[in-house]
Amino acid sequence: MAIPRKSDKADFDAAHAPFAVVEPAVETTHGYRKLAILGGTPAFEETLHVGRPNVGNRKRLQERIDTMLDERWFTNNGPMVREFEQRLVDFLGVKHCITTCNGTTALMLAIRGLDLGGEVIVPSFTFVATAHALQWQETRPVFCDIDPATHNLDPREVERHITPRTTGIIGVHLWGRPCDTGALEEIARRRKLKLLFDASHAFACSHRGRQVGHFGNAEVFSFHATKFVNAFEGGAIATDDDELAQKLRLMRNFGFSGYDTVEHLGMNAKMPEVCAAMGLTCLENIDYFVAVNRRNHFAYRSQLADLPGLRIMKYDERQQCNYQYAIVEIDPCECPLTRDELLKVLHAERVLARRYFHPSCHRMEPYRSYYPMAGLSLPETERLSQRVLALPTGTAVSHRDIELVASVIRSAVRDAGHVKHALRNMGEAPAEAGCLAIPSMPPSC
């Protein structure tokens, strides 16, 4: 039977949040069901999303919005933005935190503020914004392969891509799991390169006992609606560099240093007050969000533990983690279904699992036209982008939802033969990722 989705209103009220939900779930039902793709009723009446926003304490948010309306100060470095920046500085323990209207503009500002040009080494296995922030400024993203164990830049590969035109490296702490910051910092120091981290996934994470926000020359966060701490839309740059911080503050406000004085090239990258109101509210509820993400993470792990070829990505529990992504890796050599077949099964059940990050940046425009040979040096990226699936998590996803998603996956694996047959009858193309299949390069290559 399909279960109804709870309304947004019931998402979460921090005042009544039962912290009892924080314990990792160990209960497993391991039930099976008749799949929608085989003629059954979809598991969910309403779509279950990846990236459903956390809301936090609604009452507190509404009070903040009322204050903003009463004061009629909506943007341009208002009191809530200043408070949010101070809270971020306190939380991260960094010297400066400059908020922006989104993570992409934060990346663009940081790239320009650090004078990156020529070529910058960056993973292709990331959200396309990381590459766009470079290419937008006519700086070439040089796509570098990743370590299959961490999904982050492989430092040995980084070294191989350095040329006389290289000015910097951008590491992405994918899924909130920090890069090998020590190795990247050592390379950057030795080769005299700037080092920036796209920490869009890694707010409230630590690495070797240090909070993410402290690594490299600067680190960039996203507070997009889908991030576990969100500001509707928003971003921030954290840095301990006074000069860089001052430059970034000018740049995000057209370069203005006073009413009539422009001192620097700039743009409009300011965070509005209503976004800061949401950011502050989420920040106050962060313990709850992490606790729910952690509970969901362990629920998936226990529910999917013994399935062949399916591996739930783990976090380093010795560090501070936000558990914001529930990532499953599907090995087509061991699992009877490919990632894309499983995706179709889940979508038929109204579980909108996502293929983050497929295709990888080098296979998207304009990169596949500009750099058609890039894929040749990215075997791990090519392999991984065929295997990874993001499952729904966050405060809009209950333990019961996860049981149901898991029972869909278990049923699909058990009935793999019938699923493949049904997909063939539906005229679906054969699965993309066979056991040894490395996708072919685009025709232009």
Give the nearer residue to ligand T4K in terms of CB position, either 335 or 353. 353
Give the nearer residue to ligand T4K in terms of CB position, either 64 or 224. 224
H-assigned helices in 126-222? 128-135, 155-161, 181-190
Give the nearer residue to ligand T4K in terms of CB position, either 104 or 181. 104
Q: Which residues of 274-313 are buried (b: 16+ CB within 10 A; e: fewer)?
A: bbbbbbbbbbebbebbbbbbbbbbbbbbbbbeebebbbbb
H-assigned helices in 116-180? 128-135, 155-161
Token pair recorded at residue 334: 């061991």
Q: From the CB of 104, what's the least distance to ligand T4K, in Å?
A: 3
Give the nearer residue to ligand T4K in terms of CB position, either 328 or 416. 328
Q: From the CB of 141, what's the least distance to ligand T4K, in Å?
A: 13
Residue 126 amino acid letter: T
Would you say 347 and 37 are in contact if contact means Cβ atoms under 8 Å apart?
A: no
Provide the 3-class DSSP secondary structure of residue 185: helix
Token pair recorded at residue 370: 């500009």
Q: From the CB of 192, what's the least distance to ligand T4K, in Å?
A: 26
Would you say 172 and 197 are in contact if contact means Cβ atoms under 8 Å apart?
A: yes
Give the nearer residue to ligand T4K in terms of CB position, either 401 or 415. 401
Give the nearer residue to ligand T4K in terms of CB position, either 106 or 413. 106
Give the nearer residue to ligand T4K in terms of CB position, either 28 or 47. 47
Q: From the CB of 402, what's the least distance to ligand T4K, in Å?
A: 17
d(CA 142, CA 123): 8
Q: From the CB of 224, what's the least distance to ligand T4K, in Å?
A: 3
Give me the residues that bind ligand T4K (CB under 6 A), please: 49-53, 102-104, 126-127, 129-130, 172, 198, 200-201, 222, 224-226, 235, 352, 356
Q: From the CB of 34, what's the least distance to ligand T4K, in Å?
A: 25
Write out the DSSP string of 205-257. -EETTEETTSSSSEEEEE--TTSSS--SS-EEEEES-HHHHHHHHHHTBTTBS
Q: From the CB of 357, what's the least distance to ligand T4K, in Å?
A: 8
